[in-house]
Structure formats: C-alpha cells, structure tokens
C-alpha cells in the first residue's frame, strides 16, 4: 500500500481495447489499496497527425502555437482513459498539465520542468480519486502551454513521483523490462531484475530505447524508485534504483545505437589548440560529440575523427567547411554507414578482462573495430552497420547472462 505513479505511452492507449486494458491495470493497482497517479501520452499517431496538419498550413509555425496544438493530444487521452476507469467503477479525475501544477521554463517545444505545484493533485488523491495527468506538457510564467519535448511523458511521470514522494514510478512500455540486449536481435537476451541509474543512463544513451535519458537523470537526482514493465503482460519488470543487489553479473547489457555518424577532419597542422577549435565550434551549435579519436597523420599532420548524432551530421560538416581555411585541414570526410555497439555494467571498472573478452568476441566474428571509447561503466565500439546485429549476438554470447 502506497502512492504509485504509472506512465503509459501512446501505443498503450491507442484505441478502445488498449485504453480498457490500461484502465484494468490502473484500477487493479487502486483496488489493491494504493493511491494511483497515471500519466499518459497522446494516442498512437495523434501527435504526428497534428504535426502534419500544422505543416500543411504553415511549415514555419511558431513553437508556441505548435505546443497549443500538440497538447490537445494528451488532453484527449486523459479524458478517454478517465472514462474507461470510471466505467470500471473507480473514482477518477483527469488533469491537464497546467491543472496538475506543472510549471515549466518559458521556451516552447522543449521546456524543462521548474516545479510542480501539487495542491490540486494532493486534494484529488485525498478525495480517493485516481488522478489521470496529461504527460509532456506544462504551463510557463506567461500562462502559455508548453511541451517538454522528446521523452516528455516519462519525464512528467518521474517529476510527479519526485514531487509527491511516490513509493514507485512504473513506466509501462511494449517490452517486459530492461534486457541484456535487444530481444528482437539476441534470442537468449535476459530480462534484468534490477539495474542502477548510471547503468540505465548508459544503456538509454546507447540506444536501448526503453527510457529517455532525461527521465532517468531526474529519477537519479530525486531518488525515484523506477520500474520499467510491460503494458501487456502482467509481471514484474526491471527496477532502476541507486544500489542493486550484489550479483554475479559484471555486465548488464549489450546495446546498439544506430543514430551515429562519423566525421573525420584529415591533415590538420600539428599545433596546439586545434582540437579545442573544432569542438568549441560544434559546441556553439549544441552538437553533441561522442567518441573522439586523434591520430598522427603523414607529414607532421593530425587527423581528428569523432561521432555525432545522425541529424547533426550535415550541420557539423557545414560548420567545419566554413572554418576550413582557419583550421588548415586537408579535407573532411563523413560516414554514416556505422553503428555503435556497447556493453554496460557497473561491475566492469574493477575487472580488466571485460574489454578483452568483448574485443575477442568481435575478432572471432571477424568484425572490424573502427573506434573505441570507454568509461567506468561502459565500453563502446564503432563498427560497420552491416555487422551490427552479428556483433550484438557475438558480444552477448561471450558473457554469461543466462547463468545468473
């Protein structure tokens, strides 16, 4: 018995059947004696359809009006889900982002949450209501509706759990939890019972695609007890929390990230400050650089290679070409026929054999490593896109995930 925040994404509420299934999950939790706050996204493709409508009228629509438009998607979801819960006989009230007290910064389209004014939420919970809250949205100091941008509904749920000191924040998805690898690629991938925030952060940013980084960062900051579980199958998922049980597993999972392009600046003069010039240029346009490799070229020159998200590739190349003469480079090369494959686990930092085992597995599978990056809890390699799935399987097989 406690206070539980449950979050359901767009595909979980896309039609009548899905809504009734979610209503069942919610009311079961409520009938078990819990207070329940539910966060929902817009139904199925609603957001995309609204964006298309807007683009037809004005492809350069202001972000304020886009937020006004898109926030209707979640408002429709909360009303319909409340009707479904009401039909199952439980008291329920729906709240938009502003009714639920979400105060955000003023920028539209990707507003950050400043605080949640919880009076109304608490009053509705005190009145024994299930409270259904529109995710992804809030109100800024001009009393204008804002949206939180990508992963916004996960973030709404975690922020609510933090503000209400909830006992647990359950993120319902189309998978049964966090796996040691993508189960669609690796047949013997194993669901993890627990994982730390840091491991989850690495897995999320490495393309495991279950939780958005922003929500995990917030959960870590406010010590929110997160659970990732299935909206279809009724069984425990994966708990994300600070400390995990001691267990045999060094490695928590193998992840594949396809959203990556490699840029190489070839033949730079071997003078100090060159790397600084390149990366401050990219930082000025908020381009996130991941793996960096600097190597000695011919004739006392340097080559600098790095990876960026696919969407930033063209901007990065443009920026570098504008400053081509100042940098004194020979040429710029770009490649997007690559992927990043990573292993993640808090246990690996004290175990030097982990990297060797990963590289050996790739060597045995005859897969060429283009770049390597390591941190305390992960090792990433850049390889050819065509080898991606074989690499994930080979690396996964090299570790004993199935013997825990």
Confirm or deny that 179 is annotated as ligand binding.
yes
**Does 50 help bind a second copy (rule: CB under 8 A)?**
yes
Kindly write out the interface string for residues 140-179 of this chain, putting x where it contacts a second copy by CB under 8 A and - elsewhere. ---xxx----------------------------------
* Using rule CB under 8 A, residue 99 touches a second copy: yes
Residue 184 in marked binding region: yes
**Which tokens belong to 336?**
């997007």
Would you count residue 120 as binding a second copy (CB under 8 A)? yes
Q: How far is the CB of 3 from a second copy (least distance, A)?
A: 22
Instruction: Mention every residue, 6+ apart, whose C-beta is less than 8 A from residue 314.
Output: none
Residue closer to a second copy by CB (options 72, 315) is: 72
Can residue 106 be called a binding residue for a second copy (CB under 8 A)? no
Binding of a second copy at residue 392 (CB under 8 A)?
Answer: no
Say whether residue 372 binds a second copy (CB under 8 A).
no
Out of 19, 158, 192, 255, name the contact with a second copy by CB under 8 A: 19
Regarding 78 and contact with a second copy (CB under 8 A), the answer is: yes
Contacts of 359 (CB under 8 A, 6+ apart): 369, 381
Is 7 known to sit in a ligand binding site? Answer: yes
Decide if residue 79 touches a second copy (CB under 8 A). Answer: yes
**Position 61 contacts a second copy (CB under 8 A):** yes
Question: Nearer to a second copy by C-beta: 70 or 211?
Answer: 70
Least Cβ distance, residue 363 to a second copy (angstroms): 55
53 binds a second copy, rule: CB under 8 A: yes
Q: Would you say 118 or 373 has its CB closer to a second copy?
A: 118
Identified binder of a second copy from the candidate list 3, 14, 63, 72, rule CB under 8 A: 72
Contacts of 61 by beta carbon, 8 Å cutoff, 6+ apart: 54, 55, 69
Structure tokens, 88: 């199952």
Q: Was 173 annotated as part of a binding site?
A: yes
Query: Under rule CB under 8 A, how many of the chain's residues touch a second copy?
Result: 37
Of 66-74, 176-184, 191-199, 333-341, the window that binds a second copy (rule: CB under 8 A) is 66-74
Backbone angles phi, psi at 104, to 5 degrees: -120, 170
Binding residues for substrate, by number, are 47, 74
Query: Which residues contact a second copy by CB under 8 A?
Result: 16, 19-20, 50, 53-54, 56-58, 60-62, 64-66, 68-69, 71-72, 75-76, 78-80, 82-84, 86-87, 93-94, 96, 99, 120, 143-145
Binding residues for ATP, by number, are 7-10, 173-174, 179, 184
């Amino acid at each position: 018995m406690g206070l539980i925040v449950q979050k359901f994404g767009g595909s979980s509420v896309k039609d009548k059947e899905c809504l009734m299934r979610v209503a069942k999950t919610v009311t079961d939790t409520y009938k078990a004696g819990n207070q329940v706050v539910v966060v929902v996204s817009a139904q199925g493709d609603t957001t995309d359809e609204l964006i298309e409508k807007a683009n037809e009228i004005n492809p350069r629509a202001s972000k304020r009006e886009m937020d006004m438009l898109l926030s209707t998607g979640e408002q429709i979801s909360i009303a319909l889900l409340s009707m479904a819960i009401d039909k199952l006989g439980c008291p329920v009230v729906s709240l938009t982002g502003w009714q639920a007290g979400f105060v955000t910064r003023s920028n539209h389209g990707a507003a950050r949450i400043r605080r949640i004014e919880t009076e109304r939420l608490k009053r509705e919970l005190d009145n024994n209501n299930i409270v259904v809250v529109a995710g992804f949205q809030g109100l800024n100091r001009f009393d204008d509706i804002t949206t939180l941008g990508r992963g916004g509904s996960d973030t709404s749920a975690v922020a609510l759990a933090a503000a209400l000191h909830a006992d647990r924040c359950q993120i319902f998805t189309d998978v049964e939890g966090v796996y040691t690898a993508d189960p669609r690629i690796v047949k013997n991938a194993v669901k993890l019972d627990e994982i730390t925030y840091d491991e989850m952060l690495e897995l999320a940013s490495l393309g495991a695609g279950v939780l958005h980084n922003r929500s995990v960062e917030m959960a870590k900051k406010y010590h929110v007890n997160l659970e990732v579980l299935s909206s279809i199958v009724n069984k425990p998922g994966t708990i994300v929390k600070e400390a995990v049980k001691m267990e045999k597993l060094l490695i928590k999972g193998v992840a594949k990230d396809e959203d990556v392009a490699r840029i190489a600046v070839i033949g730079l003069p071997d003078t100090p400050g060159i790397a600084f010039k390149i990366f401050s240029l990219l930082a000025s346009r908020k381009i996130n650089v991941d793996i960096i490799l600097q190597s000695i070229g011919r004739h006392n020159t340097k080559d600098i290679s790095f990876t960026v998200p696919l969407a930033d590739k063209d901007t990065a190349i443009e920026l570098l070409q504008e400053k081509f003469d100042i940098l004194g480079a020979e040429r710029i090369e770009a490649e997007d026929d690559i992927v990043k494959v990573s292993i993640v686990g808090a246990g690996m930092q004290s175990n030097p054999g982990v990297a060797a085992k990963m590289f050996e597995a790739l060597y045995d599978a005859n897969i060429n490593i283009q770049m390597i990056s390591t941190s305390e809890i992960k090792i990433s390699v850049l390889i050819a896109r065509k080898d991606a799935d074989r690499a994930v399987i080979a690396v996964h097989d090299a570790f004993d995930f199935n013997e825990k």
